[in-house]
Amino acid sequence: MKEIQGNAKTIRDILNGVKYKIDDYQREYLWKRKHIKELLDDLSEKFSKKHNSGNKRKDVENYERYFLGSIIICEKDGDKYIIDGQQRLTSLTLLLIHVRRLLHCQQKDSHPSQNDQVTDLIYSEKFGTRSFNLDIPDRESCMDALLNNQPFDESQQSESVTNIIQRYRDIEEHYPEELSSEALPYFADWLIYNVYLVEIITYSDSDAYTIFETMNDRGLSLTPTDMLKSYLLAHITES
What residue ranges in 144-236 does DSSP mark as E strands?
A: 195-202
Q: What is the 3-state secondary structure (H, E, C) of 183-214?
A: CHHHHHHHHHHCEEEEEEEECCHHHHHHHHCC
Out of 135-139, 209-213, 224-228, least confident range: 224-228
- Residue 222 neighbours by CB under 8 Å, 6+ apart: 212, 213, 216
pTM of the model: 0.86
**Residue 100, SS3?**
helix
First to last CA, the chain: 18
Q: Do the Cβ atoms of 134 and 89 come closer than 8 Å?
A: yes
What does the pLDDT look like over 16-62, one tens digit per residue? 989 999 987 777 999 999 999 999 999 999 999 999 989 999 999 99
- What is the spatial distance between Cα 191 and Cα 209, in angstroms, rounded to a whole number? 30
Mean pLDDT of the chain: 86
**Residue 39, SS3?**
helix
Among residues of the chain, what percentage have pLDDT more than 70?
84
Q: Are strands 5-10 and 195-202 parallel, antiparallel or unpaired?
A: antiparallel
Q: Which domain holds residue 232?
A: 5-238
In the chain, how many domains are there?
1
How confident is residue 195, by pLDDT bands cut at 50, 70 and 90?
very high
Quote the pLDDT of residue 183: 94
Quote the pLDDT of residue 33: 97
**Residue 70, SS3?**
strand
What does the pLDDT look like over 58-116, one tens digit per residue? 999 999 999 998 899 999 889 999 988 999 999 999 999 999 999 988 865 554 688 89
Quote the pLDDT of residue 111: 47
What does the pLDDT look like over 154-178, one tens digit per residue? 888 999 999 999 999 999 999 999 9
> How many helices and strands, by DSSP H and E, does the chain display?
9, 7
What does the pLDDT look like over 129-140, one tens digit per residue? 889 999 999 999
Quote the pLDDT of residue 128: 83
For residue 217, the 8-state DSSP code is B
- What is the spatial distance between Cα 176 and Cα 28, in angstroms, rounded to a whole number? 27
